[in-house]
Amino acid sequence: MSAGQPTSADASKRVLLIEAGRRDDYHWIHIPVGYLNCIGNPRTDWLDSTEPRLGSMGVHCAIRAAKTLGGSSSINGMICMRGQARDYDQWASLTGDEAWTWKIRCPISSCTKTTTKVPERRTARAVWHLS
Ligand SMILES: Cc1cc2nc3c(=O)[nH]c(=O)nc-3n(C[C@H](O)[C@H](O)[C@H](O)COP(=O)(O)OP(=O)(O)OC[C@H]3O[C@@H](n4cnc5c(N)ncnc54)[C@H](O)[C@@H]3O)c2cc1C
């Protein structure tokens, strides 16, 4: 979820987003698998990395984050995974806000799915339809 998303549906709220980077008119941004050409590319990636640490065996680890309007939503892989019920329920418990419970979130967020028929030897896969 991008920064502006939670409040953008409410017309009474105004959201200021500050983003560094060029316009998102780079062709690889608009081709689904093009994110592979956006990561590690100074046109669209900040090219940040961690400091070497003992836990990473002394090597730098790349941190992928987009440098373009639209942020990482512009270069992400468009993979959507449903969250876990117990995480939502824990957030509801921590915040004291019933709206975070799985019971309420599930119908309005990412629980829409269609199961397609697959060859016998394979287990059923869910196809996610998002709008
Ligand atoms: C390569 C890649 C693949 C991904 N694939 C998936 C996926 O398949 N599915 C999924 O759910 N998530 C994916 N993600 C994660 C997802 O895209 C991010 O979690 C989400 O976009 C983060 O949104 P955000 O608004 O918090 O931050 P961002 O979208 O990263 O926005 C931050 C904005 O701030 C700007 N900025 C940073 N520093 C400064 C500064 N100093 N001054 C001004 N502006 C600054 C950046 O340029 C950027 O525009 C992927 C991320 C990457 C990088």
- In the block, tokens 């790349």 appear at 62
pLDDT tens-digit map of 4-54: 455 556 788 888 888 999 999 999 999 989 999 999 999 999 999 999 999
Mean pLDDT for the stretch of residues 67-78: 91
Q: Which residues contact 55 (CB under 8 A, 6 or more apart)?
A: none
Residue 30 is predicted with a pLDDT of: 93
Residue 128 is predicted with a pLDDT of: 52
Conformation bin of residue 68: beta by default, left when phi > 0, alpha when psi is -120 to 50: beta
Q: Tell me, using a 6 A CB cutoff, whether residue 79 lines ligand 1.
A: yes
pLDDT tens-digit map of 101-123: 998 887 766 555 555 555 555 55
| 2, pLDDT greater than 60 | no
Q: How confident is the model at residue 1 (pLDDT cuts 50, 70, 90)?
A: very low
Question: Could you tell me the distance, in angstroms and rounded to a whole number, from the CA of residue 124 to the centre of ligand 1?
Answer: 32
Residue 36 is predicted with a pLDDT of: 94
Residue 125 is predicted with a pLDDT of: 52
| Ligand 1 atom with minimal separation from the 81 CA | 11
| Ligand 1 atom with minimal separation from the 64 CA | 53
3-state class (DSSP) for residue 60: coil
Residue 79 is predicted with a pLDDT of: 80
Q: Among 1, 15, 72, which is best to mutate for testing ligand 1, by the most ligand atoms less than 8 A from CB?
A: 72
Q: Are 98 and 104 in contact (CB under 8 A)?
A: yes
| 131, pLDDT greater than 50 | no
